[in-house]
Chain A
C-alpha cells in the first residue's frame, strides 16, 4: 500500500498526489516513470514521476482525469492509498551541461518536464521553457517552472494567458532567435509530433512517450514504438527517444487500441472497490 500524503487540484481535471514510496523516492531520477495499480481490479498504468523527495520518502505523481482509470484516481484523497506502485522504470533523462536547452511542455507534460528542467538548470545549462495548454485553467506550475527556467513563455490556444496559439509558434521563434542546442518536448502525442516537425534535424530533440503498457519492465512488448525504423519498447528502451526518429503516426494510432473499451467502461462509470 502506498499512502497519499497530500492531494492538490492543480488545474481543471489535473491532480497532484504526493505518495509515500520510500524505495522509489530513493532511486527516482527525472525522466523516469512508475506503474500504478490503484485497487484490486484496476489496470496497471504508467505515470511519469513529477517530483521526488528523498528525505520525506515521497514521490509526486500528477494525473489528468482523461479516461476510466485516471478518473477513478481523481476521486482519491489524502490518507487514501494506491495498492501498487512499481518503479522507478525507464531510463533517466540524459542531462548535458553548458548548453542552451529549450523545454516544451504541453498540458500534463508540464509535470514530467519540471524535474528535468530543474536538473538541467542545476547542471549549468541555460533553460528556456515553453508551457502551453488549450486555456489558462489547464495550466499549472508556472511558479515552479519559472524558478528552474532562465526564461518562461506561455501559450494558450484561446489566448487566455500568454501567446495566443500553439507552443510550436514559440518554438519556431526561439529556434530562429536563440542558439538552441537541444529541445525536450513532452505532452500529448499530437503536440510532440508538431514540435518534431518544426525542430530542425541538427538540433537534438528528445520526446517522452506515454505508450500503453502492462508490466513496464520489458516483459510484454505492448509499448512497441518504431524509432528510426526499428521497433523499441518504450518501457525499457525509453521512455525518452530521439523525437526526429519516432514514427508518431503509428504511435498515435497505437494509442487508440482500446478506445472503444475505454468509452464502454467510462459509460458504466463503475467505482473501483
Chain B
C-alpha cells in the first residue's frame, strides 16, 4: 500500500552539525527509498522529465528502485546524467523535476532528488564498473575547465569516441563542486569518485594549466586540438563598492569558500592554509553561496552568523531547503537590509557594518520588486568578519585573449543553445555563458555542446 506523504530526509541534528563539516542530509534508508518510489504514479507522459535540463528518465529509474534494482537505477540515470550523486544533492529539484511532477499540484511531489541520491550512493557502495573507452574517432577535443559543464562535455565526447583532454587551472578537478560547495552539502569523496570514473573512461586531465596564461588556444591548436569547449565558470567576485571593503576580515565568498573547501582551511594547522575564524560574521547576499558561506562560518566556530539581504525572504535566490537549514542552525536573517559601509579600526580590521533598512518598490528588470533605501534608517552591527556573496562576473583571463570571440556587455561568451560561439570549432557553456546558474544547467550546456562538437568534428573529417 503506497503512502500519501513523502518520506522525510533525515538530517544530522542541528547542535551537532553546526560544529562539524560532515554531510547534513543523511540519505534515504532502503525502506524509505522503496516507499517513496512506490508513491510515483509512473505517468505515461512524465511531466517531471520535462522539468529536467538533461532529461533524466525519471519514472524508469524510480521503477527500478521500486524493484530493488538500485545499481540499475543509477545506470539508468547515468544514461543522461553523468553526475547523479552530485545532482541528487545540489540540484534545485523544487524548481525543476519536482515542480513539474503531477503530484506537486497537491503539494507533495515525489522526492526525485532524494531518490536520485539514493541510487547513486548504492552504486558507489557496490563499486562502479567502468570499461576504458579507446577513442575511435578523429579530432582531439580540449575541454577547458573541469566543473560540471566541462566534466559532462568531456564524458559525453569520450562516450561518442572522441579523444578528450580536460585542462584545469587549479591543482584539483571539479571546479565549483570542489572549491565552492562545502563538504556538508557535497562530500568531496563524491567529486573524487566522479573524477576517477572520468579517468577510467580514458579522458586525460592536465592540472595547473591556466589556459590563456600557461597555454594559448593557438598552442593547443598546434598540439593537434581541433575543437574546444570553454566551461571556465563565472569566476571573478563582485564587491559592493562601498567604503571598507578592503579591511582585514572582509572576504569574497569565493575566497572564503575556496580557503575552506579546496584548501581545507577548516583543518588548519594540519592543512597549512589559514582562515580567519570570526566570532561574529555577517554574510551579504541571499543565494546558495551566501548560505554556504554562513553555514561554513558557523562550523568554523563563529558564535553568531548573520545574513544581510536587501530584499525580502520570498526573493531570496537560495534553495528553500538551504535557507531552512541555515535557520535551523541558528543563522539570523536581516532581510530588507543593505550595507552602507564597513567600519574598521586603525589596524585595518573590521569592527562593524553600517546598514540601511530597505523597502520594496516597483519591479525591476528581474521581475522582482526593487529594494529602495529607507532614509535615516541606518544602524550598525558589531562584528569581526564580513563575507560578500553577491555574485560573480565573467573572468576575462581567457576570453579576452581569444581573437574573434564574441562577448556580451557583461563579458560572458555569446553562445547559442548548442554551445556554438563566434569562433569556428569553439563551444562554450555553463556560467561563463549564462552568468551564475545551477550545476544541472551547466551540465545541460556541456551535453548540448558535446553533441554539436561531435557533428562539427565529423564534418571536418568527411
Query: A86 to nearest B CB, angstroms?
Result: 4
Query: B175 to nearest A CB, angstroms?
Result: 10
Residue B452 lies at the interface, judged by CB distance under 8 Å to chain A: no
Chain B residue nearest to A41 in the complex (CB): B271
Residue A134 lies at the interface, judged by CB distance under 8 Å to chain B: no
In the complex, what residues of A have CB within 8 A of residue B347's CB? Answer: 253, 256
In the complex, what residues of B have CB within 8 A of residue A44's CB? Answer: 171, 263, 273
* Complex partner residue of B258 from A72, A88, A219, A258, CB under 8 angstroms: A219
A270–B43 CA distance with the chains assembled, in angstroms: 60
Residue A69 lies at the interface, judged by CB distance under 8 Å to chain B: yes
In the complex, what residues of A have CB within 8 A of residue B16's CB? Answer: none
Residue B235 lies at the interface, judged by CB distance under 8 Å to chain A: yes
Interface set, chain A 245-273, CB cutoff 8 A to B: 250, 253-254, 256-258, 261-262, 264-265, 268, 270, 272
With A83-B171, A217-B395, A219-B237 as contacts: A256 and B248 at CB distance below 8 Å:
yes
Tally B residues with Cβ within 8 Å of A.
Answer: 40
Q: Which stretch of A122-130, A152-160, A167-175, A221-229 is in the interface?
A: A221-229
Residue B239 lies at the interface, judged by CB distance under 8 Å to chain A: yes
With A37-B171, A215-B170, A218-B235 as contacts: A268 and B269 at CB distance below 8 Å:
yes
Asked if residues A217 and B269 are in contact (CB atoms below 8 Å), the reply is: no
Residue B361 lies at the interface, judged by CB distance under 8 Å to chain A: no
With A44-B263, A85-B208, A254-B348 as contacts: A23 and B215 at CB distance below 8 Å:
yes
In the complex, what residues of B have CB within 8 A of residue A218's CB? Answer: 235-236, 395-397
Asked if residues A23 and B209 are in contact (CB atoms below 8 Å), the reply is: yes
Residue B55 lies at the interface, judged by CB distance under 8 Å to chain A: no
Chain A residue nearest to B264 in the complex (CB): A41
A153–B236 CA distance with the chains assembled, in angstroms: 42
A43–B263 CA distance with the chains assembled, in angstroms: 7
Residue A89 lies at the interface, judged by CB distance under 8 Å to chain B: yes
In the complex, what residues of B have CB within 8 A of residue A272's CB? Answer: 272
Tally A residues with Cβ within 8 Å of B.
Answer: 45
With A219-B395, A231-B239 as contacts: A257 and B214 at CB distance below 8 Å:
no
A68–B241 CA distance with the chains assembled, in angstroms: 34
Residue A84 lies at the interface, judged by CB distance under 8 Å to chain B: yes
A231–B251 CA distance with the chains assembled, in angstroms: 14
Chain A residue nearest to B245 in the complex (CB): A231
* Complex partner residue of B237 from A220, A226, A270, CB under 8 angstroms: A220
Chain A residue nearest to B207 in the complex (CB): A84
Asked if residues A217 and B169 are in contact (CB atoms below 8 Å), the reply is: yes
* Complex partner residue of B246 from A217, A231, A268, CB under 8 angstroms: A231
Residue B317 lies at the interface, judged by CB distance under 8 Å to chain A: no
A73–B234 CA distance with the chains assembled, in angstroms: 33
Asked if residues A222 and B255 are in contact (CB atoms below 8 Å), the reply is: yes
Interface set, chain B 223-270, CB cutoff 8 A to A: 235-237, 239, 241, 245-246, 248-249, 251-252, 254-255, 258-259, 263-264, 268-270
Residue B460 lies at the interface, judged by CB distance under 8 Å to chain A: no
State the majority secondary structure of interface residues on B: loop
* Complex partner residue of A27 from B171, B213, B263, B264, CB under 8 angstroms: B213
Chain B residue nearest to A89 in the complex (CB): B213
Chain B residue nearest to A83 in the complex (CB): B171
Asked if residues A262 and B274 are in contact (CB atoms below 8 Å), the reply is: yes
A268–B271 CA distance with the chains assembled, in angstroms: 12
Asked if residues A86 and B169 are in contact (CB atoms below 8 Å), the reply is: yes
In the complex, what residues of A have CB within 8 A of residue B252's CB? Answer: 220-222
Asked if residues A214 and B255 are in contact (CB atoms below 8 Å), the reply is: yes
Residue B276 lies at the interface, judged by CB distance under 8 Å to chain A: yes
Asked if residues B210 and A217 are in contact (CB atoms below 8 Å), the reply is: yes
**Most chain B beta-carbon neighbours within 10 Å: one of A24, A226, A253:** A253
Query: B166 to nearest A CB, angstroms?
Result: 15
* Complex partner residue of A217 from B235, B263, B274, CB under 8 angstroms: B235
Residue A161 lies at the interface, judged by CB distance under 8 Å to chain B: no
Asked if residues A219 and B171 are in contact (CB atoms below 8 Å), the reply is: no
With A254-B248, A256-B248 as contacts: A86 and B268 at CB distance below 8 Å:
no
In the complex, what residues of A have CB within 8 A of residue B235's CB? Answer: 217-219
Query: A73 to nearest B CB, angstroms?
Result: 11
Chain A residue nearest to B388 in the complex (CB): A221
In the complex, what residues of B have CB within 8 A of residue A37's CB? Answer: 171
Binary B-proximity of A14-29 (CB < 8 A = 1, otherwise 0): 0000000001100100
Chain B residue nearest to A267 in the complex (CB): B269
Chain B residue nearest to A42 in the complex (CB): B272
Interface set, chain B 263-297, CB cutoff 8 A to A: 263-264, 268-274, 276
Chain B residue nearest to A252 in the complex (CB): B348
Query: B386 to nearest A CB, angstroms?
Result: 13
A214–B249 CA distance with the chains assembled, in angstroms: 15
A37–B249 CA distance with the chains assembled, in angstroms: 24
Residue A11 lies at the interface, judged by CB distance under 8 Å to chain B: no
Query: A269 to nearest B CB, angstroms?
Result: 10
Asked if residues B273 and A43 are in contact (CB atoms below 8 Å), the reply is: yes
Asked if residues A221 and B255 are in contact (CB atoms below 8 Å), the reply is: yes
Query: B222 to nearest A CB, angstroms?
Result: 11
Query: B160 to nearest A CB, angstroms?
Result: 28
Query: B106 to nearest A CB, angstroms?
Result: 44
A217–B248 CA distance with the chains assembled, in angstroms: 21
Residue A180 lies at the interface, judged by CB distance under 8 Å to chain B: no
Residue A10 lies at the interface, judged by CB distance under 8 Å to chain B: no
Query: A217 to nearest B CB, angstroms?
Result: 6
Binary A-proximity of B184-226 (CB < 8 A = 1, otherwise 0): 0000000000000000000000011110011100000000000
A79–B411 CA distance with the chains assembled, in angstroms: 44
Pairs A-B, 7 closest by C-beta atoms: A261-B274, A253-B348, A220-B255, A84-B171, A221-B252, A86-B208, A265-B269
If A23-B209, A264-B269 are given as contacts, then 10 extra A-B residue pairs at C-beta distance below 8 Å, sorted by A number, are A41-B270, A87-B210, A87-B213, A218-B395, A218-B396, A221-B239, A221-B255, A224-B246, A236-B397, A262-B274
Sample 9 A-B pairs with CB under 8 A, ordered by A number: A217-B169, A217-B235, A219-B235, A219-B395, A220-B252, A222-B252, A225-B246, A257-B276, A265-B269
Which A residues form the contact surface with B (CB < 8 A)?
23-24, 27, 37, 41-44, 68-69, 72, 83-89, 214-215, 217-222, 224-226, 231, 233, 236, 250, 253-254, 256-258, 261-262, 264-265, 268, 270, 272
Which B residues form the contact surface with A (CB < 8 A)?
169-171, 207-210, 213-215, 235-237, 239, 241, 245-246, 248-249, 251-252, 254-255, 258-259, 263-264, 268-274, 276, 347-348, 395-397
